[in-house]
Each structure stands twice: as structure tokens, then as C-alpha cells.
Amino acid sequence: MTQRAQTIIHHIGLLWTMAGAHADDTIARCGRDAMREVDAHTEAAIAIGEDGRILGLGSEREVLAMADEHTVLVDAQGGFLCPGLVDPHTHLVHGGSREQELPMRLAGAGYLDILRAGGGILSTVRETARRSEDDLLAQAAQSVRRMLSFGVTTLEAKTGYGMTQEVEQKQLQVALRLAGESPVGFVHTALPAHAVLPERLGDRDRFIEEIASMWPALYAQGAEFADAFVEEGVFSVDEGRYLLSRAQAAGLKVKLHADEMVAGGGAQLAAELGAVSADHLLAATDEGLAAMAKAGVVAVCLPGTSFYLQKTPARARHMLDEAGLAVAIASDYNPGSSPSENFGLTMSLALLTLRMSPEEVFMAATRNAACAIDRGDRAGVLAPGRSADLVLFGPREPAYILTHYGINHVAQVFIAGRRVA
């Protein structure tokens, strides 16, 4: 028996499904040509079943034939519809904010300068430890609502402002509670290897061993990924290899903060470990990016961070045109180096600073972003049988949405077929 269409969104001016061409819609698109294959339909419609899954999409005339007297019709008013956006790198759960660092930034202090002065991550570590679980939940819930309003239907939430087992588990518990309360899909990442506490510099080896010993408990609590900041002044390649190998032994998949400030071999380590993604990559070498491409590691660019820190952006054009990488984008939402939940702005910055085409930007924010958190089988693509997670923009043209920056162009957001924003 054919399932009836509970909802049909019709009068869609332009629909990009991010499916098509390739047989396997669960894997990332690699390189310029593949990332521009968006599977476009004009004058389209999409039918959603009672179970929140897509029944059919394409020609408005054909899809409307699936309606009966009980079907709810939603008029898209000629707008643009695409898969729900995916943010694969956020530091969602944290205490406080860091606008007090602005005078140092204006005076020319860099990220590592502020960190050495006791600010940066370390100030957030102190504030996160001080706050109660309920306080952290309230602050993070507000951020999730903002992200949802910009079309984000799936996101990754990291720990990383604890570096003690107690606070790391508190952050993870907040994210788990949010996942239970919000319609947004969550992916949980443990990041106790985010910085070296100043008071532990004298017993660094013991501190690293303490972090490594946290992985089993964080995995048992609900973390799916482990992450580490492999960077000059933070954790070396050898330390990152040890920490993440221990995480893999505990059952966690891995990803890396890699080569953000200095080309230190983080990209190569991601390839060696078979990481799902390596993120930042502002300083990654040609060799490192080539190794990632060969190993199938998704390159996650964070244009909001390079913009805020006034750094030269990641070389997305080289990644796409020369290395043939699968490129995703993320907000890196955090209190110090990318304090914005506006994913629309992230996408505009990908266009304007990473020099990606509109097709590449939307592919990087949907299908490839889902693959960067191992959700390629359930997010980032619109196809029959998939969950109806989608975002409808008022304007018809993706290029207009990206170039008319700083404005929220989202008209409606659906998760599992239900209108949530």
C-alpha cells in the first residue's frame, strides 16, 4: 500500500537535492566538478509521508498527484529549497563569553599571545568549571535556537573546556540533555585534548596520560568522536597520535584540529589515523592535503574563524581544484575565535573569503558537512526514503542568499517533516 503524502511543499522555484549522478548518496563529494553537481529542479515540489520521510520530489505536477484530501499543502512561494544545513564543528557548550579580549586583539595580540596571557581557552575553562549544568544548558539552548533559525538541522557539539574528567563529563551531559530536548540532530565529540593547563606544564606527560584515560568514560557516556588540537604550543603530532590512538582503542572515531596556525603535520596525522575529518587547515601543506585526499579525510574549513582572527583563510580553491578533497564548512561557534551562531554568515564567508562557488558552498554545508561527522547516510541529501530535514529560503537564487550577507533569508525549517522554525 502506497503511503499517503501528509505534507507537500509545492511552488518551489529552485530545489537542490545534493543527490543524483553518483550511485552512493552517503559519501562526500570530492573536488570541484563533483561538488558542483547539486541535482537542480525548477518549479518543483516535495512530498513527505506520515513517518517524516520523503516520498517523492521533482516536478510539481507529478508530486501534487500524490496528494489526497488530507494532505497539507505548503506554498514555498517560489523560494529555494535544499537539505537542512549541517554544522560539523561547534564548541556549543561553554560558560561565559570573551569580549573582554577585544582590546588585546585590537592591539595586535594573536590567538596564542592571548592564550599565553591566561586568556583564550583557559578563561573559558575557568568559567565553564564554575557554572552549573543548568546554567550551561540554558546558554547552549539559546545558541541552538539561533542555529536552528538559520537552517541548521544537524550539528556537532564538542566538549573541551574542562580538561578534567568531571568538567568534560559535565559538558557532555549538557549536550546529551539538549539532544533529548531539541529537534536538531546532535553528534557528540569529546575534546579534552584542547589545551595544556598552565599548572600542568611541569608534569605534561602525566597530564596527557590523564586525558588519555578519560576516553572510555566519555565513550560510555555517549561521545561518538574524539578530537585533539594538534598545533604548535598545544599538542605535538606525537602527542596527538598517542592520544587519538588511545581514543580509537576505546571505541571512538577521531577528528582533529589540525594545522591552524603552523604547518605542523596535523593533516598528515589525520590521514595516518583514518580520521573522519581534519578541521581548520589554514597552514596545511600540499603534502598534507594530498595525504588527506588519498585517505578520504574530509577537509572542514572554518571561514568565520579566519575572518574573526584576521588570518589568511584556508586554501579551499587548492583543496578543490588541485587536491581533489571533499570540503565541508562549519561555524566553529565558540566564545573566543568565532562567536557567532549565524550559519548563513559562515556560508557567505565561504563564498567571499574561500572563493567557493554557490554550488560548492551549499554542498559543503549539507552533504559534505554531514559526511564530516559520519552522518552521510541520514543528513545532507534529499531523496525518497530520507528524513525530510530541509530548509526553505525566501529568495529563489542561492547566489543572492550568499551575497546579500548578514541577513537571515530562511523562511521555514523542517526536521523529520515537521515545521520547527
- Which CATH code is given to the segment(s) 85-371? 3.20.20.140
Per-domain boundaries in the chain: 5-26+37-83+381-419, 85-371
Q: What is the homologous superfamily of the domain 5-26+37-83+381-419 according to CATH?
A: Urease, subunit C, domain 1 (2.30.40.10)
Residues 6+ apart with CB under 8 A from 216: 250, 251
Give the number of other Cβ atoms within 10 Å of residue 344's Cβ: 24
Instruction: Say if residue 24 is exposed, middle or buried (CB neighbours under 10 Å; 0-12, 13-18, 19+).
Output: exposed
Residues 6+ apart with CB under 8 A from 157: 90, 92, 93, 140, 175, 178, 179, 186, 187, 188, 189
Strands 253-258, 225-230: pairing is parallel
pLDDT digits (tens, 9 = 90+) for 216-249: 999 999 999 999 999 998 999 999 999 999 999 9
pLDDT digits (tens, 9 = 90+) for 15-51: 999 997 666 999 999 999 999 999 999 999 999 999 9
DSSP state of 35: H
pLDDT digits (tens, 9 = 90+) for 329-357: 999 999 999 999 999 999 999 999 999 99
Q: Going along 80-231, which residue ranges are E strands?
A: 80-83, 85-87, 152-158, 185-193, 225-230
Task: Give residue 420's Cα distance to chain centre.
Answer: 20
Q: Residue written as cell 562549519? A: 330
- Give the span between the Cα atoms of 365 and 289, in whole angstroms: 20
Quickly list DSSP for 188-227: EEEEEET---GGGGGGHHHHHHHHHHHHHHHHHHT--EEE
pLDDT of the residue at 22: 61
- The mean pLDDT value for 144-162 works out to 98
